[in-house]
Structure 1
Amino acid sequence: MYRLYDYQPSGNGYKVRLLLSQLSLPFEYIEMDILQGETRTAEFLAKNPNGRIPVLEIEPGYYLAESNAILFYLAQGTSFLPEERLAQTQVMSWMFFEQYSHEPNIATPRFWLCHVPELNPYQKIALPYKQEQGYDALAVMDRHLAAHQFFVAQRYTIADIALYAYTHVASEGGFELSRFANVCRWLQDVAGQPNHIPITQTSFSG
């Protein structure tokens, strides 16, 4: 059985939980409190030297880090990753977009506003700039979704899972999702997929 080291509010961890659930794969969930430094211990750093969650133990002593890499590993040979070379590349392109343009600017304001007791001077200055760039990323998504039900090959893939994780809770970072009609429609389509679980759920019973 897979063993997932995770932090329940994390969108990056939620990506992995969601795919595992939609693949009907059982997993053991191990909560790591990142706010209490539990991912900075020598024991955890032996699993992931970068000291971040999620980490998926695929078999005893073998660990995978980085949420989108874990998605790619789990999705191979399934309907969540197209077989066509171009479509696979497009999936990866959107997943790179998620990590470079989307997650840093949507997840960060959410973390600051929901999990930081008080913003420090840098965060107070940076927050509106992060939100502006987050809105830019949402606009890119909205334009694409105007002509596509999902992000790649008109079907639900790990590109959608990667982007859904932090988009569907973007309001917690001060974003007005109602400004993006196509994104809102897509969020509903993703939430309607079989074996979908909310971000607050940390197990899958089948």
Structure 2
Amino acid sequence: MTTVYGMRASGNCYKLQLLLSHLGRQHRWVDVDSTRGETRTPEYLAKNPNGKVPLLELEDGRLLAESNAILCYLAEGSAYLPTDHWQRAQALQWLFFEQYSHEPYVAVARYIAKWLPADHPRQAELPRLRERGHQALDVMEQRLSKSEFFSDGGYGVADIALYAYTHEAPVGGFDLSAYAAVRSWLQRVEAQPGFVPQSY
């Protein structure tokens, strides 16, 4: 059986939970808590030298890291990853956007605001993170004001990837009231067959 090593509080790991639920695919989940150093043990580093979650392990022992790469692998052959070349390129475009322009700001702001004490030095990063996070949300709003989902092929991996941290953006101090298209899209994602909320 396919095994996923992950931390349920992580949006990057939640992406896989959500896709696997959509697919109805049996899998084994192994909790690995990076906040307790469990991704830095010799045993885990032997599987993923980068020391991060999530990590996918196939029945034959092959290992795949990086959440969006795992999404594409698991979604191959399903409606969640387009076969049309243009639509697949669109999906990849938004997956790269999520990792480079969205997650470093929206997810990091969420982490600092949710888990670090009020007097922690990293609290000083929040204004800049929120500024850049709002820039990413503005880009998303423009796209979603013209399209129901991020790929012309419909709901898929790009939506799953971006939903993972956007739905918790308010935790990081992002007010979504000005983003009507984003809020409507969140509702459309949550209405998809097999949707499961994030568990902790």
TM-score, scaled relative to structure 2: 0.96
The residue number in structure 2 matching 1:107 is 107
Shift of 1:61: 2.3
Distance 2:91 2:12 in 1: 17
Letter matched to residue 141 of structure 2: D
Shift of 1:117: 3.2
Distance 1:126 1:79 in 2: 39
Deviation per residue, 1:71-124 (Å, 9 max, x gap)? 010111110011111111110000000000000000001111112235533x23
Where 2:174 maps in the other structure, the secondary structure is: coil
The residue number in structure 1 matching 2:165 is 166
Shift of 1:21: 0.8
Where do 4+ consecutive residues of structure 1 move more than 6 Å? Answer: none
Taking only the aligned residue pairs, the percentage that are identical comes to: 49
The residue number in structure 1 matching 2:154 is 155
The residue number in structure 2 matching 1:35 is 35
Letter matched to residue 57 of structure 2: E
The residue number in structure 1 matching 2:5 is 5
Higher mean alpha-carbon deviation, 79-88 vs 123-132, is at 123-132
Where 1:178 maps in the other structure, the secondary structure is: coil
Determine if contact 1:148/1:154 at 8 Å carries over to the other structure. no
Shift of 1:60: 4.2
Distance 2:187 2:128 in 1: 28
Determine if contact 1:11/1:166 at 8 Å carries over to the other structure. yes
Distance 1:165 1:68 in 2: 11
Where 1:64 maps in the other structure, the secondary structure is: strand
Q: Does 1:96 align with 2:96?
A: yes
Determine if contact 1:91/1:158 at 8 Å carries over to the other structure. yes
Distance 1:143 1:154 in 2: 18
TM-score, scaled relative to structure 1: 0.94
Q: Does 1:184 align with 2:183?
A: yes
The count of residues paired between Structure 1 and Structure 2 equals: 200
Distance 1:188 1:27 in 2: 27
The residue number in structure 2 matching 1:120 is 120
Distance 1:124 1:187 in 2: 27
The residue number in structure 2 matching 1:204 is none
Output the aligned Cα RMSD. Answer: 1.2
Letter matched to residue 145 of structure 1: L
Shift of 1:126: 1.7
Distance 1:105 1:119 in 2: 20
Q: Which runs of 5+ in 1 are unaligned?
A: 202-206
Q: Which runs of 5+ in 2 are unaligned?
A: none
